[in-house]
Chains A and B, each alone.
Chain A
Amino acid sequence: GENVEQHPSTLSVQEGDSAVIKCTYSDSASNYFPWYKQELGKRPQLIIDIRSNVGEKKDQRIAVTLNKTAKHFSLHITETQPEDSAVYFCAASKIGGYSTLTFGKGTMLLVSP
């Protein structure tokens, strides 16, 4: 089955800095890679996703890049703000039918004012 590794487990940055979270996956057939954000005491929510036919996707201050050859993908947050503090999960899956969405173990991002 799919295995998703996520690093770092914790990341502390100053407000305004950039943050990068990296994930690797094992199943070369995976072609859908979402990122979820979980604020303290709340449920995970999808913030951005990317399909394997795209190398990069941006949505305001967040972006995701994908390197299919190396089987890794990354979340980039620019101009971080205190409200970006949360746990971020990457995941991998296959489009079509239903396949298990395999999550990484999460990264706790702390943005200090």
Chain B
Amino acid sequence: EAQVTQNPRYLITVTGKKLTVTCSQNMNHEYMSWYRQDPGLGLRQIYYSMNVEVTDKGDVPEGYKVSRKEKRNFPLILESPSPNQTSLYFCASSSQPTARPHEQYFGPGTRLTVT
């Protein structure tokens, strides 16, 4: 089954404790992205990756890191989480331009709470 998976789905942590949210897709997609969703602010892109070892900042990259060592995986790293990073995070992947060039397949989301 074609899918994007994220782990963990829920995480409560404390300020300053490094954490990683994993994302994996099995559709051989080149493009992957991370978004955060906050009430009233919609979906804002944190980072994206066009291919292995190619990443770039989105609209709200501060406080986050990513890496793309393998095509299928795109982990999101919070080196020193702060309460303002409490949010719902979505990973997404998409294929090369096709009839639907940028259809984003979203993961199930990770609800992160930083206290």
Counting CB contacts under 8 A, is B90 at the interface? yes
Complex: how many Å from CA A44 to CA B88?
Answer: 12
| Candidates A1, A46, A96, A105; contact of B41 at CB < 8 Å | A105
Q: Find chain A residues with CB under 8 A from B103 CB.
A: 34, 46, 49
Main secondary structure of the interface of B (DSSP, over half): loop
Segment at the interface with A among B14-22, B43-51, B73-81: B43-51
Tally the A-B contacts, defined by beta carbons under 8 Å. 61
In angstroms, Cα B58 to Cα A1, docked, is 11
Pair A101/B97 contact, Cβ less than 8 Å:
no
Q: A49-B100, A98-B31, A98-B48 are in contact. Are A43 and B107 (CB under 8 A)?
A: yes
The contact string, 1 if C-beta is below 8 Å from chain A, for chain B 70-113, is 00000000000000000000100000010011111011110000
Find out whether the CB atom of A101 lies under 8 angstroms from the CB atom of B102. yes
In the bound complex, what is the Cα–Cα distance between A37 and B58 (angstroms)? 22
Interface size on B, residues (CB 8 A): 24
Interface of A is mostly: loop
Between-chain CB contacts (< 8 Å), 25 pairs: A1-B59, A9-B40, A34-B100, A34-B102, A36-B104, A43-B90, A43-B106, A44-B106, A45-B106, A46-B100, A46-B104, A49-B100, A49-B103, A93-B102, A95-B97, A97-B97, A98-B31, A100-B48, A100-B59, A101-B102, A101-B104, A102-B45, A105-B40, A105-B41, A106-B42
